[in-house]
C-alpha cells in the first residue's frame, strides 16, 4: 500500500482546491506527456461550487479535443487557465492544430473517422456537450480559431 501511495503521489503533480479538477488535470497531463504535448497550466481559484459532473463534462471534453488536435501538430501545445473572475469561474484553453476546421449549420464537424459497426459514432459531440453544460449552468462560451490555433473561453457562475 505504501509503495502504491508513493507511486500515486508522484503522478499527482497538479494540485488545486478541487480534487475533481486536480484528478482530471493530472490524468490529462499524463496523456500530454506520453504524446509529447506541452501542457501549460495556470490555476487561480479557491472554492468550486460547480457540480463535478459539469466540471468533468466541460474540462474533459475541452482537453480531449485539445489533445487530439495538438497530438497531430508539430510541437503540440495546450495552454489552460482556470481562474476565479468575480463570481464566475473563467476557463480559457488554447491549443495548436493543423486541420481544416469545418462547421455545418453552426456546428463543428469532427475530423475523427467513424469506425466500427456503427458509423454514426459519438464523434463530434464534445463541443455540443460543452455548450449544453455551460448554457445549463447559466454561463457563456466563446470559440475562436484560425488555421493554426483554436481557443475556447468560458465563464460559468461559481457561487453558492
* Cα-based angle 152, 32, 6 (whole degrees, multiple of 5): 125
For residue 44, give the DSSP letter: E
Which CA distances in Å does 107 have to 13, 45, 84, 127? 36, 31, 29, 8
User: Model's pTM, two decimal places?
Assistant: 0.83
136-152 pLDDT per residue, tens: 999 999 999 999 999 99
Tens digit of each residue's pLDDT (9 = 90 or more) over 24-56: 999 999 999 999 999 999 999 999 999 999 999
Angle between helices 19-34 and 52-71 (to 10 degrees): 10
Half-sphere exposure of 109 (CA within 13 A, CB side): 8
Amino acid at each position: 500500500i505504501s509503495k502504491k501511495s508513493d507511486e500515486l503521489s508522484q503522478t499527482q503533480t497538479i494540485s488545486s482546491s478541487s480534487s475533481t479538477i486536480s484528478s482530471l488535470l493530472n490524468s490529462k497531463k499524463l496523456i500530454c506527456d506520453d504524446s509529447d504535448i506541452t501542457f501549460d497550466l495556470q490555476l487561480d481559484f479557491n472554492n468550486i461550487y460547480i457540480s463535478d459532473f459539469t466540471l468533468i463534462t466541460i474540462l474533459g471534453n475541452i482537453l480531449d479535443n485539445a489533445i487530439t488536435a495538438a497530438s497531430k501538430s508539430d510541437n503540440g501545445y495546450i495552454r489552460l487557465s482556470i481562474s476565479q473572475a468575480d463570481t464566475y469561474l473563467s476557463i480559457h484553453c488554447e491549443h495548436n492544430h493543423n486541420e481544416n476546421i469545418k462547421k455545418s449549420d453552426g456546428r463543428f464537424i469532427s475530423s475523427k473517422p467513424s469506425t466500427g459497426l456503427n458509423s454514426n459514432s459519438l464523434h463530434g459531440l464534445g463541443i455540443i456537450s460543452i455548450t449544453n453544460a455551460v448554457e445549463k449552468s447559466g454561463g457563456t462560451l466563446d470559440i475562436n480559431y484560425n488555421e493554426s490555433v483554436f481557443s475556447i473561453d468560458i465563464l460559468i457562475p461559481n457561487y453558492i
